[in-house]
Chains A and B, each alone.
Chain A
Amino acid sequence: MGVGVGALNTGNNLLYLVLGLLLSAIVVSGILSEHSLRNVEVRRLGTDAAFAKEPFAFRWAISRPKGCSFALTLSEEGVALEGEGHLAYLPPGSEQIVRGQLRAARRGPLTLTGIRISTPYPFGLFIKGRVVSQQDTLLVYPARVAVAESLQLAAQQRPLGEASNPRQGGGNGDLLDLRELKPGEDSRRIHWLKSAGAGKLLRAVREREERDTFTLRIDKDLPSERLDARCAEVAALTQRLLQRGCEVGLEADGQHLRPGRGAIHQRRILDALAWAGFLPKAAE
């Protein structure tokens, strides 16, 4: 701007020359940027798991049949996802995996409509970009928060029902294994006969072990922020209970998950929690 004003004010032709160089550099910058983005092919690889309010790794595969590209930035277009992935150099004819750190503000399904590829190349003065249209859905799990103390206390209480029957305290089904009794374990689990033979206290491990079973419920009609917070708490509690070896079920927003355990079941619960509040309402 200064050079332009100076040139106009003084009529100095050499300043016009400098101004011409600057304007020309802008045009060349646009041309090289456009060239760098031409024929770039990109596909979304996605992420293993995305939790709200924390960065997660997101991947794209990018390639260009002919010509090389420089200083590329990839991000998701038109969706509430912060962060981007960068690639300094894309050689011709080879596919590169770009990893970006993205962050979602809240849980729930995010509709991904397109991938934005942009570059400040060559001079870093302007950023040129284009959007490659690709439809997909990213499910963002509830934020990982600390388990509320009240919920921990509640979880320590023995649940009702058959699972809490003292007679079932030793588990049921066939005997699978015997192992040494650890301090603090229920003495009712001791297999006295085998313990006498072994000369040490052994506990029985049965086909269906003793477990606490929890079904976690999320109230309907919670306001949006409260629902998010509730989902985050439930997710944290689920994690805690599953780590303790409990079976956890879920009732939320018309979804019913029977108590279960394991990583796959945890993922199902997280999916259900992510969808809570976003599913179409069933006819009353």
Chain B
Amino acid sequence: MTWLAQKRLQLLFRDLAAGAAFGAMAISGALPAWVVVIFAVGLAAALLELRLLGDRTLLSVFLLAASASLLYASAAAGKLDLVVAACTFAAFITLSRIHATASPSTDAQVHLTSLLMTAGGAALSAEMLFALFLGAFGLLAALSLGIQTVESKGSADRAALAPASRQLLLGGLLAIVGSAAFFASFPRLSWNLAARRGNRFEGALMGFAEPVRPRGNGRIKNNPRLVARIRISPDPGIGSLNAYWIGRAFSEFNGREWSSPAEIFRSSPRVVVRPYAQRLLHQAIELLPAYGSPALIAMERPAIFGNARAHLESGQTVQTWLRDFGEGHVRFVESGMGYLYQAYSTPPLNGRPDDEALDTNVDPESYLQIPAGLDSRVPALAAHVLGSETDPLRSAHKIEDHLKRAYRYSLDLSDAPDPLADFLFSRKAGHCEDFATALAILLRTQGIPTRVVIGFFGGERVGDQYVLRAGDAHSWTQVLIPGRGFVSVDATPEAHRAAQPWLALGWLTPLYDFLDVRWRAWVVDYSLKDQATIARSVVQPVSTFRLKVPNLNWKWLGAGLCLIALIVSGTLARRRRRRAPIHSASILLKRLERALRTAGLQLDQEDLEATTHRLLAQQHSIANEVAPITRRYLEARFGGRAFREGEASHLARSLERACNKYRSAHRNVFP
């Protein structure tokens, strides 16, 4: 490999490392799109060997000064976050250095500014992908620096590059593993122990403040992003909860959207939304930044909310009070990126009237409103479906069955002037809000009080907790049953209630969640307390130490171990094959020398040839035996005249016999 090719390779690794560092910032979504585009184009040009600035230092300085001024002005005007502006400037410096003529100093500058960008990425985001970009940056920078170091000492040939790259890759991986050890053990001396828990720059996916609008865009059902993590006590211990998580309820429908009358109660640290019985299900809920709403959620039949804390953008975590808006709609007073709180619900009761009767202090008239100008076909349809049925719950189930049977679930919808009529009589396809609205209004036309609820449906177990995704967002109907309160009736087909990730991502999502949960628990939220716990477990006396065997999937573990064993044995076999075979003449030589030494005929540091010459010169009795064997050995070893089958062992045996004979003849000399 020529020096030029090596240099190109080194620059390729350097530029890719810079790209990875930029990626660590870009995943936050905080950088303006034009910055991402400029950097991507610049990097692509550099990868194509187009160094646009070259030796034009003045132009480089001018461009950097201009961009610094622009960014400062944007930050001063409040159009750009100061940290984002600083990160953007670091990206521009990197880009200018990448496009300068390559030299050891520009290489060092690119690596330094790339490091700054990774630090910027750490400040902007707490996403798990950051670790991926950081690792990529580490490996690529290691390769680039390594090749640069080797070539600084002279031109190394192609043979040097392969072992150097292997060592550098191994070193890079070791550094990544070591960084975890340093990370865990480095004392957290800072007073500010709370890092950013999520990406404050990513847009929210849910909006409970917005009214429910049938025919709205349903693309959210494909989104696998996590919006909440919930620890339930007592732990249900099942993989999928398939539970309703209530956010808020709506009672008024104007023909296009649902809303609720504004009714604000005073704020307090604890809100009781309904009377509750003794048996409550405790939930410790963490709302992630992707949730994007100040409304609290809880498993169906929420009773109490309290002990809420908000994660502020500054990185601090503060206690926050709660404000009750009625209809079970509770919000955080303090606005934050994410929230932690406790909720208690009365669990699903399978129709036990003693608990369900606790929800009956509501006015049924509030839930019978029908929009003006309602299509006359709607009550006719309800009457047709119900026939002579008058029981509210049975009526609800009858319409539910009809909707499930006669209507199709679809996310490809457009707006319509009368969304309900469009759903029921034209398209006959819709998503959860259409089904919920249709069920609620059809029942109301028959004098059965209903309301529409938005929240989530699902609850998928990841580790020892449950998660909700953006795609789990759902809307359904609650029917007010006299003496029992609101009972959920869901007309949306079962298969379409929870998240519907794209098939291509379906297998990846659980893995991502598995890793993301651990990433947040072990990295983002790692604190002095965790360090203390680890330290205690390390210094715990051996007698009290109990090895906790986690719930392992033994099949996968066994398969993994088999794979590792295969790789190791394959590597060893390849190495063994690579080792040059021992020449048969060398084996013979060892036997000859051993025989001669045993007989005391070969001196220290004397080789076979020298011994033979000496014995011949001394006219030693054994010299005539040794000389032809020595000659034959030399012929076979260096003359290219290979041994015949069994010849080598025959020669060795004949010399051993001669030596033994000599040895027994001089028995008095040998001990």
Q: Are A71 and B149 in contact (CB under 8 A)?
A: yes
Q: B374-386 toward A: CB 8 Å interface, digit per residue (1/0)?
A: 0000000000000
Contact of A18 among B119, B149, B193 (CB under 8 A): B119
Q: Are A25 and B192 in contact (CB under 8 A)?
A: no
- Is A19 an interface residue when CB atoms closer than 8 A count as contact? yes
A89 vs chain B, min Cβ distance (A): 3
A88-B115 contact given A20-B183, A21-B179, CB 8 Å threshold: no
Q: Are B171 and A32 in contact (CB under 8 A)?
A: yes
A20-B178 contact given A11-B193, A89-B164, CB 8 Å threshold: yes
Q: Are B156 and A89 in contact (CB under 8 A)?
A: yes
A238 vs chain B, min Cβ distance (A): 38
- Is B180 an interface residue when CB atoms closer than 8 A count as contact? yes
Sorted nearest first, the 3 A-B pairs with minimum C-beta distance are: A24-B178, A20-B182, A14-B122
Complex Cα distance A95/B521, Å?
A: 53
Q: Are A3 and B119 in contact (CB under 8 A)?
A: yes
Give chain A's interface secondary structure class: helix
Extra contacts besides A15-B123, A16-B188, A88-B155 (12): CB < 8 Å: A2-B119, A3-B115, A8-B189, A12-B123, A17-B134, A32-B171, A35-B167, A70-B164, A120-B149, A121-B149, A122-B142, A122-B171
Complex Cα distance A31/B142, Å?
A: 14
Chain A neighbourhood of B150, CB < 8 A: 70-71, 88-89, 121
Chain B residue nearest to A15 (CB atoms) is B122
Contact of B182 among A6, A23, A70, A122 (CB under 8 A): A23
Q: Are B178 and A28 in contact (CB under 8 A)?
A: yes
Contact of A68 among B145, B155, B163 (CB under 8 A): B163
B440 vs chain A, min Cβ distance (A): 46
Chain B neighbourhood of A20, CB < 8 A: 178-183, 186
Q: A25-36 toward B: CB 8 Å interface, digit per residue (1/0)?
A: 101110110010
Q: How many residues of B contact A (CB 8 A)?
A: 58
A89-B157 contact given A12-B315, A14-B524, CB 8 Å threshold: yes
Chain A neighbourhood of B151, CB < 8 A: 88
Chain B neighbourhood of A29, CB < 8 A: 171
B53 vs chain A, min Cβ distance (A): 24
The residues of B with any CB-CB pair to A shorter than 8 Å are 115, 118-119, 121-123, 125-126, 130-131, 134, 138, 142, 145-146, 148-157, 159-160, 163-164, 167-168, 171-172, 174-183, 186, 188-196, 315, 523-526
Q: Are A13 and B524 in contact (CB under 8 A)?
A: yes
Contact of A86 among B122, B125, B153, B178 (CB under 8 A): B153
Chain A neighbourhood of B130, CB < 8 A: 14
A282 vs chain B, min Cβ distance (A): 43
A sample of 17 cross-chain residue pairs with beta-carbon separation below 8 angstroms, ordered by A number, consists of A7-B186, A10-B123, A13-B526, A17-B179, A20-B181, A21-B138, A24-B177, A24-B178, A71-B149, A72-B153, A88-B154, A89-B156, A121-B146, A122-B167, A122-B168, A123-B149, A125-B145
Q: Are A18 and B118 in contact (CB under 8 A)?
A: yes
Q: Are A87 and B154 in contact (CB under 8 A)?
A: yes
Chain B neighbourhood of A157, CB < 8 A: none
- Is A166 an interface residue when CB atoms closer than 8 A count as contact? no
- Is A124 an interface residue when CB atoms closer than 8 A count as contact? yes
Chain B neighbourhood of A150, CB < 8 A: none
Q: Are B186 and A19 in contact (CB under 8 A)?
A: yes
Q: A64-77 toward B: CB 8 Å interface, digit per residue (1/0)?
A: 00001011110000
Chain B residue nearest to A9 (CB atoms) is B190
Complex Cα distance A2/B157, Å?
A: 38
B56 vs chain A, min Cβ distance (A): 27
Chain A residue nearest to B197 (CB atoms) is A13
Q: Are A24 and B167 in contact (CB under 8 A)?
A: no
Interface size class of A (residues with CB under 8 A): 35 or more
Q: Are B156 and A88 in contact (CB under 8 A)?
A: yes
Chain A neighbourhood of B154, CB < 8 A: 86-88
- Is A46 an interface residue when CB atoms closer than 8 A count as contact? no
A24-B186 contact given A10-B315, A122-B168, CB 8 Å threshold: no
Complex Cα distance A112/B149, Å?
A: 28
Chain B residue nearest to A89 (CB atoms) is B160
A124-B195 contact given A3-B119, A11-B188, A24-B181, CB 8 Å threshold: no
Q: Are A19 and B182 in contact (CB under 8 A)?
A: yes
- Is A169 an interface residue when CB atoms closer than 8 A count as contact? no
- Is A83 an interface residue when CB atoms closer than 8 A count as contact? no
A10-B190 contact given A3-B115, A24-B179, A123-B142, CB 8 Å threshold: yes
Complex Cα distance A86/B150, Å?
A: 10
Complex Cα distance A9/B119, Å?
A: 13
Chain A neighbourhood of B148, CB < 8 A: 124
Chain B residue nearest to A35 (CB atoms) is B167
B1 vs chain A, min Cβ distance (A): 11
Complex Cα distance A20/B174, Å?
A: 12
Chain A neighbourhood of B131, CB < 8 A: 17
Chain A neighbourhood of B192, CB < 8 A: 9-11
Q: A142-184 toward B: CB 8 Å interface, digit per residue (1/0)?
A: 0000000000000000000000000000000000000000000
Chain A neighbourhood of B194, CB < 8 A: 11
Q: Are A16 and B186 in contact (CB under 8 A)?
A: yes
- Is A259 an interface residue when CB atoms closer than 8 A count as contact? no
A206 vs chain B, min Cβ distance (A): 52
- Is A91 an interface residue when CB atoms closer than 8 A count as contact? yes
Q: Are A8 and B190 in contact (CB under 8 A)?
A: yes
Chain A neighbourhood of B174, CB < 8 A: 24, 28, 31
Complex Cα distance A29/B171, Å?
A: 8
Most chain A Cβ neighbours within 10 Å, of B130, B146, B181, B193: B146
A6 vs chain B, min Cβ distance (A): 6
Complex Cα distance A28/B141, Å?
A: 14
Chain B neighbourhood of A125, CB < 8 A: 145
B125 vs chain A, min Cβ distance (A): 8
A23-B179 contact given A3-B119, A124-B148, CB 8 Å threshold: yes
Contact of B134 among A8, A18, A123 (CB under 8 A): A18
A16-B183 contact given A9-B190, A32-B171, CB 8 Å threshold: yes
Chain B neighbourhood of A124, CB < 8 A: 145, 148-149, 152
